[in-house]
């Protein structure tokens, strides 16, 4: 190892040869095999390491969750933040390949800083860059964690209507084949018995009813189905149990069907009518299922604001509603959502997809806090030149002693493996730093309220991006 090994690092590239030699004289080479730990989270930060060769992975343990934060390569320095702050290591660094490093002890590092202004300035620049990098990495990790959660929920939400559409389409195929045969039979019978005018009138009435299905209360529908099924069975229709629910949906009842008895096509017309009602019903089911799929996809597209500029004129209500659609898999098993939306709420200038990430984080936390059962209230209103969004849940509340810590990175009260502790930290950063707003919390047993205050226009450098 030589001076050039140290000069590979941006941290040391501005130092003189003498300063680098001073570090080299006090440094020790450390070799590791693939899989060995260079430093462990929680250990004293008594030295820094310059990576000379190989690859290292930086890992963060949060509860039972192991978060992979970064990968470090030759020229990178690891462990310098804990060394400078004289704090325990906040992450574990593991060698991914056979590697070589140069260990710089705390005494040598501090001696260099105390005697060299240029070294102090270089380290200051490095620390600022590393803090910025770490914050960006935290944001990315939270986004990926949120994406994983949303993807799992979306897969479930899309699978239900997709499976329903597939089932209905399969039944529809069988139904259409039967209907085609019945249509040919009834037309032939009507022609032979000189009843084509009757058939034309019958078909027109059926078409009229198909275009306007009736809406019935549940109990009323049950009663009508039972009555019609009994009539169909009494008239020798073997599939009465299958036809009756479909026919009731289009307003057919025993009294209407009695009028068909004067025709030579009576038995056939009942079969045709029942099969036609079932076919149209199946078409409606396919339409509803595919409509639900389209709604979810459109909500996801709007939620992420794909192919649009990051800074937009945003309808806050639309963002909240799209978030509810995306999170339906968590809400539908016992959470009631109430809305108190202002009818005159103005649109605001915002980073739309990031704002939706905030709504997701807060609502997701609320559902978890209520253990999936309770009430969430969404309230919006304008206040001077700001828009206020309140998200209130009926959960057990946040203990007063930890309310000041909820925005800290990696702080979580969720059970091991259920949270990264980054959601509210990222949300606070998005609201306060990106939008120059406020994220406030009020909590007591039975009610937790997150209050988001957003300016109508973002002022400052970020708005000019």
Same domain, 198 and 279: yes
**15, part of any domain:** yes
Same domain, 54 and 161: no
Same domain, 288 and 324: no
Same domain, 288 and 233: yes
Q: Which residues, including other chains, have CB under 8 Å from residue 270's CB and lie 6 or more apart?
A: 232, 235, 237, 243, 257, 260
Same domain, 70 and 195: no
**121, part of any domain:** no
**137, part of any domain:** no
Same domain, 193 and 327: no
Q: Which residue from 298, 326, 32 is spatially nearest to 151, judged by alpha carbons?
A: 326
Choose the final residue of a domain: 241, 272, 296.
296
The full 3-state SS of 185-219, as one line of letters, equals: HHHHHHHHCCCHHHHHHHHHHHHHHHCCCCCCCHH
Same domain, 314 and 292: no
**54, part of any domain:** yes
Region class of 142: left (phi > 0), else alpha (psi between -120 and 50), else beta: alpha
Q: What is the pLDDT of residue 244?
A: 92
Please give the residue range of the domain that contains residue 274. Answer: 152-296
The CATH number of residue 7's host domain is: 2.60.120.10
Choose the final residue of a domain: 63, 86, 115.
115
Q: Which residues, including other chains, have CB under 8 Å from residue 261's CB and lie 6 or more apart?
A: none
The CATH number of residue 445's host domain is: 3.30.565.10
Cα–Cα distance, 137 to 68 (Å, whole number): 10
Cα–Cα distance, 352 to 341 (Å, whole number): 19
**141, part of any domain:** no
**27, part of any domain:** yes
Q: What is the pLDDT of residue 247?
A: 93
Tokens 């499976």, residue? 163
Same domain, 166 and 190: yes
Same domain, 315 and 427: yes
Label the pairing between strands 335-340 and 374-383: parallel
Same domain, 55 and 189: no
Cα–Cα distance, 182 to 187 (Å, whole number): 9
Q: What is the pLDDT of residue 250?
A: 92
Burial of 243 (0-12, 13-18, 19+ CB in 10 A): buried
**207, part of any domain:** yes
Same domain, 177 and 321: no
Same domain, 287 and 190: yes
Burial of 262 (0-12, 13-18, 19+ CB in 10 A): exposed
Choose the final residue of a domain: 255, 270, 296.
296
Q: How many domains does the chain have?
A: 3
Long-range contacts (CB closer than 8 Å, 24 or more residues apart) made by 405-408: 406/441, 407/439
**303, part of any domain:** no
Tokens 């260079």, residue? 38
Cα–Cα distance, 332 to 158 (Å, whole number): 14
**Distance of CA 64 to CAs 112, 135, 254, 395, 412, Å?**
39, 22, 65, 24, 12
- Tens-level pLDDT at each residue, the chain (465 residues): 667 767 767 777 767 788 788 878 888 889 999 999 999 988 888 888 888 889 999 988 766 667 787 888 888 888 887 877 777 888 899 999 999 998 888 888 777 777 777 767 767 776 666 666 666 666 655 555 555 656 666 666 677 678 778 888 888 998 999 999 999 999 998 899 898 999 999 999 999 999 888 888 878 888 999 999 999 999 988 888 989 999 999 999 999 898 888 788 888 999 999 999 999 988 988 887 787 787 777 766 666 554 455 788 899 999 898 888 878 878 888 999 999 999 999 999 998 888 888 998 899 889 988 988 999 999 999 998 999 999 999 999 988 888 888 877 666 666 544 555 567 888 888 899 889 999 999 999 999 999 999 999 987 544 444
Going by the DSSP 8-state scheme, the letter that residue 347 receives in this structure is P
């Amino acid at each position: 190892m030589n001076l050039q090994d140290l000069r590979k690092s941006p941290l040391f590239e501005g130092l003189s040869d003498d300063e680098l030699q001073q570090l080299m004289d006090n440094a020790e080479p450390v070799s590791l095999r693939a899989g060995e730990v260079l430093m462990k989270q929680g250990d004293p930060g008594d030295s820094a390491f310059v990576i000379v060769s190989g690859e290292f992975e930086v890992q963060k343990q949060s509860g039972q969750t192991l978060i992979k934060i970064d990968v470090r390569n030759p020229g990178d320095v690891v462990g310098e933040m804990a060394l400078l702050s004289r704090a325990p290591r906040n992450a574990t660094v593991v060698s991914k390949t056979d590697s070589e490093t140069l260990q710089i002890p705390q005494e040598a590092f501090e001696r260099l800083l105390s005697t060299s202004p240029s070294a102090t300035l270089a380290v200051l620049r490095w620390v600022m860059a590393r803090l910025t990098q770490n914050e960006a990495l935290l944001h990315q990790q939270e986004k990926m964690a949120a994406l994983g959660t949303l993807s799992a929920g979306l897969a479930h939400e899309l699978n239900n209507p997709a499976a329903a559409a597939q089932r209905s389409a399969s039944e529809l195929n069988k139904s259409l084949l039967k209907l085609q045969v019945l249509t040919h039979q009834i037309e032939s019978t009507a022609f032979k018995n000189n009843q084509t005018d009757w058939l034309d009138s019958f078909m027109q009435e059926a078409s009229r009813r198909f275009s306007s299905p009736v809406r019935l209360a549940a109990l009323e529908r049950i009663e009508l189905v039972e009555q019609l099924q009994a009539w169909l069975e009494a008239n020798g229709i073997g599939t009465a149990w299958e036809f009756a629910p479909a026919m009731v949906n289009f307003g057919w009842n025993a009294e209407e069907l009695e009028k068909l008895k004067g025709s030579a096509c009576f038995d056939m017309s009942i079969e045709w009518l029942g099969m036609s009602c079932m076919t149209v019903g199946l078409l409606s089911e396919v339409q509803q299922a595919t409509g639900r799929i389209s709604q979810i996809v459109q909500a996801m597209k709007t939620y992420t604001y794909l192919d649009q500029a990051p800074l937009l004129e945003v309808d806050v209500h639309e963002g909240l509603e799209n978030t509810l659609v995306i999170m339906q898999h968590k809400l539908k098993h016992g959470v009631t959502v109430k809305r108190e939306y202002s009818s005159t709420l103005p649109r605001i200038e915002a980073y739309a997809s990031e704002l939706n990430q905030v709504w997701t984080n807060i609502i997701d936390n609320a559902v978890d806090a209520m253990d999936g059962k309770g009430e969430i209230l969404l309230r919006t209103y304008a206040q001077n030149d700001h828009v206020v969004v309140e998200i209130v849940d009926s959960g057990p509340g946040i203990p007063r002693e930890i309310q000041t810590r909820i925005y800290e990175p990696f702080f979580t009260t969720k059970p091991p493996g259920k949270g990264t502790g980054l959601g509210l930290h990222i949300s606070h950063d998005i609201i306060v730093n990106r939008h120059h707003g406020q994220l406030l919390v009020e909590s007591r047993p039975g009610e937790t309220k997150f209050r988001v205050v957003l300016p109508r226009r973002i002022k400052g450098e970020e708005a000019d991006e």
